[in-house]
Amino acid sequence: MNVYLGLGTNLGDKERNLSEAISLLSSEVGVVVKQSSFLASKPWGFDSENEFLNAVVLVETNLPPFDLLAKTQEIERSLGRITKSANGYSDRLIDVDILLYDDQIIELPTLKIPHPLIAERDFVLIPLAEIAPQLVHPVLGKKIIDLLSGLVTI
């Protein structure tokens, strides 16, 4: 299965955080086939003085979606993330989001694939378009590059 994962960090040694996450994904999830450049971005959805560093990776995995979710959360914890933000967003050492899982659509309280905010986030669309510009969003029916060109940034 081809899985696109979004990575983000805004605390500590950000480049190291992303590199360690990618290394753990490679050893525990599957083969990292493509990796975007690291992209600096401003916090989204909350105020912070800490700029983010983001990336997107394409991973070939045999893990089913819920096992993948458990593994990505385990990787976050192993890199120092205590809990996911329950009431809004906050600073974090690492965040690993499942963006797309082949062309599957899952709409459950604990897992939503594709990630529901892909089309609203330039820090996801820019690195995703770098490695998969022609990929079609399974719900919106648009290519990633077209979603990016249609995004209005402030």
Q: Which residues are catalytic?
A: 81, 92, 95, 97
The amino acid that residue 95 corresponds to is: D
**Is residue 38 within 8 Å of residue 16, measured between CB atoms?**
no
Cα torsion 97, 99, 102, 106: sign? positive
Tell me if residue 46 falls in helix, strand or coil: coil
- Encoded tokens for 76: 């976050």
Distance spanning both ends of the chain, measured CA to CA = 35
> Which residues are within 8 A (CB) of 40 and not within 5 positions of it... i.e. 6 or more apart?
51, 52, 53, 54
Residues belonging to the chain? 154
Rounded to 10°, the helix 65-78/14-28 angle is 140
